[in-house]
């Protein structure tokens, strides 16, 4: 049974996410991750970023990991319909006149000033990772929220790798100048509907524990707190130095 989701980018990074499975003892996760960690060290990717239960924090720190932050995970059964009546235009990147470079600028603007502490990637790295994680048709899953020619925010709904019906948002955000006006909960609700059209039956969303605004959006749109995980990182240079 697969206990971790894994995304690799050549020699740059490994992204690892613990998959919570009922009835699986914690020791099984530790054994499986130890094997994965050994493979990462052998392949010498620049760093490994891990989402894992905080109960294993001391075990990870002993293995030279640094803690980046903590996140909360919320979930919701996608039965709907959701209250997403609005005057905003919702258009995919593939159907719009927005270029990839302009979308990258918009994406980066939405990240600006975020309460999330886990900013591991530059915007160029993020744009590269979209096709890696979402596939060749990634532009079909990048949505822009606009009104009267102005862009207010973006969302990127997708089905989680290794599942057939778990909906996630690769990213979701509002541009800084439009925050605090209630648009976030509208865009989030619209994206839940978009996930349903992709075949998602359940939604899982996450944010930094300190991001109170995003947590309110989750709760306003009927999401329930499911889990708390730590974000940990290890760099191959540090491992080499200590060895």
State pLDDT tens for residues 25-79. Answer: 999 999 999 999 999 999 999 999 999 999 999 999 999 999 999 999 999 999 8
Residue 125's pLDDT is what?
87
Window from 83-92, 125-134, 145-154 with minimum mean pLDDT: 83-92
Does the pLDDT of residue 160 top 80, yes or no? yes
- Per the model's pLDDT, the better-predicted residue between 220 and 87 turns out to be 220
Exposure string of 27-37, with b = 16+ CB inside 10 Å and e = fewer, is eebeebbeebb
Task: Using the structure block, give the residue that is written with the tokens 């919320």.
Answer: 74
Q: What is the pLDDT of residues 65-109, one digit of tens each?
A: 999 999 999 999 998 666 556 789 999 999 999 999 999 999 999
Type and span of the H or E element at 195: helix 183-197
Cα atoms in the 13 Å half-sphere on the side-chain side of 28: 12
Residue 208, strand partner residues: 71
Q: What is the pLDDT of residues 3-18, one digit of tens each?
A: 998 988 878 899 999 9
> Six-digit token pair at 211?
């991001």
Report CA-CA distances (Å) from 184 to 113, 209, 242. 15, 17, 45
Q: Which of 10, 132, 152, 20 is nearest to 73 (CA)?
A: 20
Type and span of the H or E element at 235: strand 224-235
Across the beta sheet with 166-174, the strand order is: 4-9, 13-18, 47-53, 224-235, 66-77, 202-208, 166-174, 150-159, 143-147, 89-92
208: confidence class by pLDDT, cuts 50, 70, 90: very high
String of DSSP letters for 9-60: ETTTEEEEEEPP-TT--HHHHHHHHHHHHHHHHHHT-SEEEEEEEGGGHHHH
> Six-digit token pair at 233?
């990182």
Type and span of the H or E element at 226: strand 224-235
Beta carbons within 8 Å of 44's beta carbon, 6+ residues apart = 11, 236
Task: Using the structure block, give the residue that is written with the tokens 């059209």.
Answer: 197
Residue 2's pLDDT is what?
83
182: confidence class by pLDDT, cuts 50, 70, 90: very high
- Give the pairing of strands 13-18 and 47-53: parallel
Residue 86's pLDDT is what?
75
């Amino acid at each position: 049974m697969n206990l971790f989701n894994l995304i690799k980018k050549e020699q740059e990074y490994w992204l690892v996410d613990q998959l919570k499975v009922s009835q699986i003892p914690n020791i099984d996760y530790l054994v499986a991750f130890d094997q994965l960690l050994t493979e990462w060290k052998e392949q010498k990717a620049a760093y490994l970023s891990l989402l894992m239960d905080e109960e294993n924090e001391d075990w990870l720190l002993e293995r030279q990991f640094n803690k980046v932050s903590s996140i909360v995970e919320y979930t919701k059964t996608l039965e709907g319909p959701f209250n997403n009546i609005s005057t905003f235009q919702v258009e995919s990147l593939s159907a719009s006149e927005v270029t990839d470079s302009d979308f990258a600028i918009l994406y980066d603007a939405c990240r600006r000033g975020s309460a999330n502490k886990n900013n591991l990637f530059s915007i160029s790295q993020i744009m590269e990772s979209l096709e890696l994680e979402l596939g060749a048709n990634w532009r079909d899953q990048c949505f822009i929220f606009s009104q009267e020619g102005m862009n207010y925010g973006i969302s990127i709904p997708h089905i989680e790798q290794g599942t057939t019906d778990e909906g996630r948002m690769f990213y979701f955000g509002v541009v800084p100048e439009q925050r605090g006006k209630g648009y976030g909960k509208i865009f989030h609700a619209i994206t839940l509907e978009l996930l349903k059209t992709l075949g998602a039956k359940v939604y899982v969303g996450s944010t930094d524990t300190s991001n109170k605004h995003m947590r309110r959006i989750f709760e306003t749109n009927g999401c329930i707190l499911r889990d708390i995980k730590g974000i940990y990182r290890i760099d191959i240079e540090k491992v080499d130095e200590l060895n």
